[in-house]
Amino acid sequence: MIDIHTHILPGIDDGSRNIKESIDILKELISQGVKEIIATPHIISGVYDNTRKIIDEKIEELNSEITTYKLPIRIHKGAELYCEPNLIEKTKREDLSLAGSKYILIESDMQRFPDNFENILYQFQIAGYTPILAHAERFAPFINDFNYLLDIINRGILVQINSGSLFGDYGDNVQKLAHKILKTGCVHFIASDVHGLNKRPIMLKEAYQFLSENFNENLPKLLMNENPKRLIQNKEIENMVENYYVEEKTKQTLKEKIKNFFRI
Ligand SMILES: [Fe+2]
């Protein structure tokens, strides 16, 4: 797996607090089957004023620990951009895309998007970037109006959802929307958005299994491996695999399976 959304870099946002915690998180990611990650520290003016230089230094620091501990994982540079004025200029100036690609990870206030939100996304597209909405299922405007999310996707914006959302880590409404997003095919990536081992469980392995069992075994591969790989290689991102969704009513319960097996 490749995890495209992590707060792994120590001490520069509300994620990992120190290098030891970063190493512990990396070990947990590895045990879940993750081989590559993108480090995406928050960038919020006046709160987390992270620059390219700070991010590069922290990645270098973590990489030397990875070498020391011989951890089988690779880290790519990235950032989680908070939607605010002059963001495009800052993104260009500081080179804040994901893994040096044209893709950027963007978030906003959870309760309310800025008035010119669609326009900011469009301006990024005009500038040659492809925005990916971080944890789209957590935003109140989409919880209240699913068509709004469809509209955003139709504009060529990509969607990432958090593994933990599928299991109710952020409440019922978020879980419900995460499932709806999956069922309707409005998703391109699943990632952990890990902030620390004590905050929320990573749940990537569970998400992979959940998708294989409830949808189609190609779906977790696409959302947690192939699309992230394409992102890192700066290739176009594919949409959903065909016929991945099996209607609930066509699934057999264990009782029905036994009945059919014995043709009772
Ligand atoms: Fe995040």
The pLDDT value given to residue 103: 98
Distance between CA atoms of residues 204 and 1, nearest Å: 9
pTM, entire model:
0.91
Sorted by sequence, the CB contacts under 8 Å of residue 26 that are 6+ apart come out as 8, 37, 62, 66, 71, 73
Q: What pLDDT digit, counting tens, does each position of 176-218 carry?
A: 999 999 999 999 999 999 999 988 889 999 999 999 999 888 9
Q: Enter the DSSP assignment of 44.
A: B
Whole-number Å distance, alpha carbon 13 to ligand 1 midpoint, is: 10
250 CA from centroid of ligand 1 (Å): 36
Alpha-carbon distance of 261 to 255, in angstroms, equals: 10
Domain boundaries defined on the chain? 2-261
For residue 204, report the distance from its CA to the centre of ligand 1, in Å: 15
Architecture of domain 2-261: Alpha-Beta Barrel (3.20)
Q: If DSSP states are collapsed to H, E and C, what string results for 95-153?
A: CCCHHHCCEEEEECCCCCCCCCHHHHHHHHHHCCCEEEECCHHHCHHHHHCHHHHHHHH
**pLDDT for 224-264, tens place per residue?**
999 999 999 999 998 777 667 766 545 566 667 666 666 65
Distance 72 CA to ligand 1 centre (A): 23
Q: What are the tens digits of pLDDT across the range 68-86?
A: 999 999 999 999 999 998 9
